Amino acid sequence: MAETTVVQSKVKIEVRNQAEEIFSRAGLSMGDAIRLFLQQTINAGDIPFTITARRPSARLRKAMKESQSETGPIYNTPEAMYAEWGKANA
C-alpha cells in the first residue's frame, strides 16, 4: 500500500461550502477534488488551469471590448469623459 500524508489548509467557511456544493454536483468529495487537482498538476507539469481574477462587471467588459475595438467614444479631456459617465449613471 502506498504511503499517504495529510494535507491541511485553512479557508473561509463560505469558500469551503461553495466548493463542496460544486464538487458534490460532480460526485466528488473535498478530498477527491484535492487529490484530483494534485494529480492533474503532476500530469500537466504545471497548474492545470488558467488562474484568473473575478470576472469584471458587464459594464467593464463592454468598456474593455469597446477600447479594444476602438469603437467606443473618444474624449478630449477627463472632464468630458466624467460628464458622459455622469449621464450614464443618472
Q: What angle do CA 10, 15, 17 make, to 5 degrees?
A: 105
User: Looking at the chain, how many residues does it have?
Assistant: 90
Helix pair 30-44, 13-25: axis angle to 10 deg:
80
pLDDT band per the 50, 70, 90 thresholds, residue 68: confident
Question: Is the predicted pLDDT of residue 90 greater than 70, yes or no?
Answer: no
pLDDT band per the 50, 70, 90 thresholds, residue 64: confident
What is the reported pLDDT for 76? 85
**Extents of the domains making up the chain:** 13-44, 58-89
pLDDT digits (tens, 9 = 90+) for 23-54: 999 999 999 999 999 999 999 999 999 888 77
User: Helix (H, G, I), strand (E, B), or coil: what is residue 31?
Assistant: helix
Question: Is the predicted pLDDT of residue 71 greater than 80, yes or no?
Answer: no
User: Helix (H, G, I), strand (E, B), or coil: what is residue 39?
Assistant: helix
